[in-house]
Structure 1
């Protein structure tokens, strides 16, 4: 694919990710995505045969961004607890948008399930990556694997639950409290 074509493909995926997040997968048309990406509707089919293919591309972005974030955290910190705390702080940087719109990954997993189940599974891999990273880091502190995995899941549930409730109530304090509780749990490990 040419450089220009690659740029159009990325614009289409960015437009789709934004639309899916803000108005839902089912309510988003290919015409909406094309218009937002400033790509003629007929050209969308050159890059993606179906809306499900676009969903798969969006899911790939979520996974790639999660992997990149985890690599950056691992490079910046050597202490396992500090790595997890650094990760939580990175996640908290997007709190405002999460309070306004919810979590784009969890919404994609939910919305893709019926029409694009492979894309839903792929998007869910972001949560698996986060849970695995936290679990491995907690094992490095001396926790047994089963305890570390349970604690990692607890942290992800705390974060996602905080997003859900903060979004429902329109209250950023709820999400800030979730991050504080997650950090406090880490200090007890």
Structure 2
């Protein structure tokens, strides 16, 4: 029962921090959302930083599970990378309203110079490492990390502008362009490795 209550608190905190930001989200907000007393709340979390740790760990676990699902579902590395690109559409409504959950938290903690800013950045590192592995499997070798960072950076830019302008059409168009960019990279590599194909 205690573990279940703790999980409900972290889940509620995760959503509130995403929607409103870490700094303005209070114990009272989270307790009211979960429907528990402040005393019960303090039994599970003593400080706001304890809650933040729980939220970051939850996001890391959820991200790892998502990446594992993409590994299983994707028939090849290119398809898996497209799964990453298409998450902008899957989460499009949330992104247009609140921005990217990873990017917004990292930015806020950096502005606050919070000790957990590197923990939040670990979410980006998960994506970076995973994307790098997909590009390596495609045969890009030493260029893999550069390509991973490019697509990660571009997706963050798209999320930021889609949020700023609340523009669904822009988001979809950019996803199409990112997929076309990926296809061009793969075709260019194939031509480089097989010059007789040109």
Partner of 1:158: 154
CA distance in 2, matches of 1:155, 1:102: 17
> Could you tell me the TM-score, scaled by structure 2's length?
0.87
CA distance in 1, matches of 2:176, 2:149: 16
Instruction: Provide the secondary structure at the position in 1 that maps to 2:25.
Output: coil
CA distance in 2, matches of 1:143, 1:152: 11
Of 166, 169, 175, the match for 2:165:
169
Of 80, 95, 110, the match for 1:98:
95
Of 27, 30, 35, the match for 1:33:
30
Of 57, 65, 72, the match for 1:68:
65
Deviation at 1:29, TM superposition (A): 0.9
1:165-186 Cα offsets, whole Å, 9 max, x none, are 0111111122222222221121
CA distance in 2, matches of 1:144, 1:94: 31
Of 111, 114, 117, the match for 2:115:
117
Of 54, 71, 75, the match for 1:57:
54
Instruction: Provide the secondary structure at the position in 2 that maps to 1:157.
Output: helix
Q: Is the 8 A contact 1:62 1:123 kept in 2?
A: no
CA distance in 1, matches of 2:57, 2:85: 22
Q: Is the 8 A contact 1:166 1:174 kept in 2?
A: yes
Deviation at 1:115, TM superposition (A): 6.5
CA distance in 2, matches of 1:71, 1:133: 10
CA distance in 1, matches of 2:74, 2:22: 37
CA distance in 1, matches of 2:99, 2:176: 19
Of 119, 124, 127, the match for 1:127:
124
Deviation at 1:109, TM superposition (A): 1.5
Corresponding pairs, count: 184
Decide which structure has the larger Cα Rg and report it.
2
Q: Is the 8 A contact 1:60 1:123 kept in 2?
A: no
Q: Is the 8 A contact 2:16 2:25 kept in 1?
A: yes
CA distance in 2, matches of 1:166, 1:90: 13
**Gaps (5+ residues) in structure 1?**
none
State the superposition RMSD in angstroms. 1.5
Whether 2:26 is the aligned partner of 1:43: answer no
CA distance in 2, matches of 1:55, 1:94: 22
CA distance in 1, matches of 2:3, 2:113: 26
Of 11, 20, 23, the match for 1:23:
20
Over 3 Å off, 4+ runs: none
